[in-house]
Amino acid sequence: MKVLIVLMACLAYVAADCGPLQRLKVKHQWVQVYSGHGYEREAFGREVFLEMYNQAPKAKDLFTRVRGENVFSPEFGAHMVRVLGGLDMCIALLSDDTVLNAQLAHLSTQHKDRGIPNEYFDVMKVALMKVVPGHVSHFDFDAWSACYDVIANGIKH
Amino acid sequence: MLRFVALLALVGLAVCDDCCTTEDRKEVQTLWSEIWSAQFTGRRVQVAQAVFEDLFRRDPESKNLFKRVNVDDMNSPEFHAHCIRVVNGLDTVIGLLDDPDTLKSQLEHLAQQHKERDGIHKTHFDEMSHAFGAVMPQVSSCFNPDAWNRCFGSIATKIASLLED
């Protein structure tokens, strides 16, 4: 019985961790979300950003420079694909820790310079965890949650 | 009237010698998506590194532009991360080829970003075009250099538009 409990605890730990296998799965699932066409990427981005606005209406104020009040504007479209492109890089690098850390350090400086408060990374997480499942089959909530944290914690400043 | 038609035809030819047509865009997006995927991190780094190696062979001086990202050790995490950012920027632009308004906005953003960096000239973008033209056929099967060059050329010209020669 004791052995079983220990085993269960180990399993639970593994499930909540962003281990090598979880990283492969998130990378694989992300490819289904982030396909090659810009207009599809923008449509996905709009879902994510609108969800963020929904949770935290003040988030809009961060994006006045890129016309965040109109998520259909070309300026905001370009902004969204830049943000998602950044996320794409991090997810692609989940299987290469040293380069991932270099990239996260770069993004951390960038976000600090722009004055993006850390709590918005949590807002983004909630939005992604809500929107991504609609775009992938067999969404792995635990893997995404743990691996998103690895990325966000690396960028928070 | 005939003369007008002839003139239009000429203008059309002259303009579209190097323009990235709808067919070209599709072609470029397809061949790009085949080599570029978040699933294959190693592939991204290798493609980008080959491009930079070609650039530095052609123009050793250009290496100085990348001091900040540890170009002296091309296998350092900093330089690998830089490689990935550059080619990821291209990925974003290629994705937008069929969304001209957003593409324009993104190219203006990139033009501004490059203008802010000292020492980058229009000629560097010609060299980069050449480097991609040399690397892509080695990694992409059934590569279409004409479509690639037309689209890459028009992208590069716009990003370099604020730079000096």
Structural tokens at position B22 = 């709808």
Instruction: Look at residue B126 in the predicted model and tell me its pLDDT.
Output: 95
Q: Give the DSSP H/E element, type plus range, for residue A110.
A: helix A97-114
Residues of B with CB under 8 A from a CB of A: 29, 32-33, 37-42, 44-45, 76-78, 80-81, 84-85, 88-89, 91-92, 94-99, 101-106, 109
Cβ(B161)–Cβ(B113) below 8 Å: no
Question: What are the structural domains, with CATH classification, of chain B?
Answer: 22-160 (1.10.490.10)
ipTM of the assembly? 0.81
* pLDDT for the residue numbered B42: 81
Q: Which of A34, A37, A99 shows the shortest C-beta gap to B38?
A: A34
| CA-to-CA dists, residue B20 to A76, A129, B29, B150, B156, angstroms | 24, 37, 12, 5, 12
A1-155 maps to CATH 3.10.310.30: no
Distance CA A140, CA A117 (A): 28
Residue ranges of the binding site of B: 114
What pTM value is reported for the model? 0.85
Query: How far is residue A143 CA from its own chain's centroid?
Result: 12
Q: Residue A111, annotated ligand binder? A: yes
Rounded (to 5) percent helix, strand, coil in chain A:
80, 0, 20
Would the CB atoms of B98 and A39 count as touching at under 8 Å?
A: yes
- Cβ–Cβ gap B41/A103 under 8 Å: no
DSSP structure string for B44-100: HHHHHHHHHHHHHHH-GGGGGGGGGGTTTSTTSHHHHHHHHHHHHHHHHHHHGGG-H
Smallest Cβ–Cβ distance between A36 and the set B33, B84, B99 belongs to: B33
Query: Which of the four pLDDT bands, split at 50, 70 and 90, describes residue B28?
Result: very high
Are A89 and B109 inside 8 Å of each other by CB? Answer: no
Q: Which amino acid is at B86?
A: V
Q: What is the pLDDT of residues A10-38, one digit of tens each?
A: 555 545 799 999 999 999 999 999 977 88
A88·B38 Cβ contact <8 A: yes
Nearest chain A Cα to B84, which residue? A89
* Stretch B63-91: mean pLDDT: 94
B-chain CB neighbours of A27 within 8 Å are 38-39, 41
> In which residue ranges of chain A is pLDDT below 50?
14
**Per-residue model confidence (pLDDT) at position B8:** 54
Decide if A92 and B44 are in contact by the 8 Å CB cutoff: yes
